[in-house]
Amino acid sequence: MKITPINQWLPFKDYLVIAGPCSAETESQVLSTAHSVKKIDRVKIFRAGVWKPRTRPNTFEGIGLKGLKWLQKVKKETGLLTCTEVANPEHIKACIDHDIDILWVGARTTVNPFLIQNIADSLEGKDIPVMIKNPINADISLWVGAIERFLNKGITKLVGIHRGFSTARPSPYRNEPCWKIPIEIRQKVPGLPLICDPSHIAGSREKIFEVSQKAFDIAMEGLMIETHPDPDKALSDRKQQVTPNQLEEILKGLQHRKEFCSDELFDDKLSSLRSKIDALDKELLDILKVRMNIVHEIGQEKIKKNIAALQKNRLDQLIDQRVIWGNKLNLPEDYVDEVFQIIHAASVKTQTQLME
Ligand code: PEP
Ligand code: MN
């Protein structure tokens, strides 16, 4: 089963913007947000959560069915398409009964294959688009697996939502963006339209612009931004919601970048620079091959003396030394560190295999 191109089921030009509150709270909050965001040209889809997966109990867990009726009103009064989060077959039935246009599954659902399978089973034979948020933890396979479960049931109008990953390390973000994962998922699931949810990545409204720009820099197809008429009084995710006016300002300031363009001069320049990169990468591989031959030789020597494949001291020194060399060349520390961790891990693996 293949993913249906997004422009076959949405009025899509360049990118899409989904706006609306984290949670539907009252009818007037929902309708006033919808009427305000409708005035922003780019916004074609309205979001509001009616069932909220909150971390702690005894907090606001969503308004439930009532909220779906408000979303129906939004559609009738503004013409915006509507979407909400679902986590089980009952939610899906209620959404379909209330003409919700698009469903999304949240990060806490994507993480659980049982739940995803239940949802996919109950969508079989229905023609409703589904947006799949990444799982809370940075496990790309779980995300790909969820997409596959929908495709297996013939649900092909799919969108991925990158909302960041939770981390135990101190971070300026509520959920670390780990940009290499949204980049990698495009290789693993060709044709998947990918949008970014900067609100849940940032966790604070001040960082939404920066995260959104980064999403456009890697050619994502859109944004989902939590929007509330009075964010500081919101019943959930207060700090990360923006007003409709702030949303408009954010969108105005963003540079949307396309993946391709039809300028011949630009294409020629790019091809010539890329052929330089190709030649350098080939040289890099030649060097890695020579390096690997030496790794083999060292491995043989270690076997003779019954020495382990890994010497922790050597690894620490090797990384430190390369980071210093890299610093002199103005290469980012984490980049040099990561590259040599991978190279060294491959050496240890090769030597371990020699010892088997
Ligand atoms: C949400 O969109 O309000 C939400 C709960 O998101 P996530 O699943 O990304 O935490
Ligand atoms: Mn939220």
Q: Which of 142, 197, 201 to mutate to test the pocket of ligand 1 (most atoms within 8 A of CB)?
A: 197
Q: Residue 235 and residue 242: Cα distance in Å, rounded?
A: 14
Q: Residue 105 and residue 342: Cα distance in Å, rounded?
A: 34
Distance 54 CA to ligand 2 centre (A): 9
Tens place of pLDDT for every residue, the chain, 356 residues? 899 999 999 988 899 999 999 999 999 999 999 999 999 999 999 999 999 988 889 889 999 999 999 999 999 999 999 999 999 999 999 999 999 999 999 999 999 999 999 999 999 999 999 999 999 999 999 999 999 999 999 999 999 999 999 999 999 999 999 999 999 999 999 999 999 999 999 999 999 999 999 999 999 999 999 999 999 999 999 999 999 999 999 999 999 998 888 899 999 999 999 999 999 999 999 999 999 999 999 999 999 999 999 999 999 999 999 999 999 999 999 999 999 999 999 999 999 999 99
Residue where the block lists tokens 């961790």? 341
Distance 106 CA to ligand 1 centre (A): 5
Q: Which residues surround ligand 2, an ion (CB under 5 A)?
A: 22, 237
- Taking the CA of residue 110 as reference, the ligand 1 atom at the shortest distance is 8
Q: CA separation (Å) from 69 to 30, 33, 37, 234, 302?
A: 11, 15, 19, 20, 71
Whether 200 is in the pocket of ligand 1, judged by its Cβ within 6 Å, is yes
Question: Residue 162: in which H helix or E strand, if any?
Answer: strand 158-162
CA angle, residues 291, 295, 298, in degrees to nearest 5? 135
Whether 174 is in the pocket of ligand 1, judged by its Cβ within 6 Å, is no
Whether 49 is in the pocket of ligand 1, judged by its Cβ within 6 Å, is yes
* CATH 1.20.59.10 assigned to 264-355: yes
Domain boundaries, the chain: 6-253, 264-355
How confident is the model at residue 259, as a pLDDT?
A: 82
Whether 135 is in the pocket of ligand 1, judged by its Cβ within 6 Å, is no
* CATH 3.40.50.300 assigned to 6-253: no
What would the two tokens of residue 348 be? 């240890």
Distance 201 CA to ligand 1 centre (A): 10
What global pTM score does this model have? 0.88
Q: Taken in order 83, 76, 5, 262, is the CA torsion positive or negative?
A: negative
How confident is the model at residue 6, as a pLDDT?
A: 96
- Taking the CA of residue 52 as reference, the ligand 1 atom at the shortest distance is 5
How confident is the model at residue 9, as a pLDDT?
A: 95
Residue nearest to atom 3 of ligand 1 (CA): 22
Q: Which of 56, 111, 175, 200 to mutate to test the pocket of ligand 1 (most atoms within 8 A of CB)?
A: 200
